[in-house]
């Protein structure tokens, strides 16, 4: 059974999320289902299109309270992988996170 994790609409300067983010959110829910991770404010913040990974910072991943320490370390590696892959050329979204996860895991 597919679980839909509650995500509040992201609004910045009066504009709601783009359709591309809504599509990414579907991927994000599948991603969370597959890996059994709980959604957290920190992870959502990392994945919002208007947040680049370096604004969140690797150290903030340690503050994700619903992830075990081993997974928190893994998330840091995922964020680092995204940094190497995109070099700040585009905002990060759930699709990027999903692909970076596979790059780190493989």
Question: What is the rounded CA–CA span in Å between residue 22 and residue 14?
Answer: 17
Residue 97: pLDDT over 60: yes
Is residue 53 included in any domain, yes or no? yes
Domain with 63, as residue range(s), is: 19-105
pLDDT band at 72 (very low <50, low <70, confident <90, very high): low
Number of folded domains in the chain? 1
Q: Which residue has the tokens 């913040």?
A: 45
| Residue 7 within any structural domain of the chain | no
18-36 residue pLDDT tens: 445 445 556 556 655 554 4
> Domain for residue 59, yes or no?
yes
Q: Specify if 1 maps to a domain.
A: no
Whether 81 is covered by a domain: the verdict is yes
* C-beta of residue 53 within 8 angstroms of C-beta of residue 31: no
Indicate whether 13 belongs to any domain.
no
pLDDT at 56 over 50: no
What are 15's strand-pairing partners? 12
Report pLDDT digits (tens) over 4-20.
444 444 444 555 544 45
Q: Is 50 exposed, middle or buried (0-12, 13-18, 19+ CB in 10 A)?
A: middle
Residue 6 lies in a domain: no
Residue 96 lies in a domain: yes
| pLDDT of the residue at 17 | 47
pTM above 0.85, yes or no: no
Query: pLDDT tier at 67 (50, 70, 90 boundaries)?
Result: low
């Amino acid at each position: 059974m597919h679980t839909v994790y509650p995500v509040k609409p992201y609004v910045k300067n009066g504009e709601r999320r783009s359709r591309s983010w809504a599509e990414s959110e579907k991927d994000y829910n599948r991603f969370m289902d597959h890996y059994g991770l709980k959604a957290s404010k920190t992870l959502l913040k990392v994945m919002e299109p208007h947040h680049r990974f370096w604004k969140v910072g690797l150290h903030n991943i340690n503050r994700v309270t619903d992830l075990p320490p081993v997974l928190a370390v893994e998330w840091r590696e995922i964020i680092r992988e995204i940094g190497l892959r995109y070099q700040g050329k585009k905002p990060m979204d759930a699709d990027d996170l999903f692909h970076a996860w596979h790059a780190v895991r493989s």
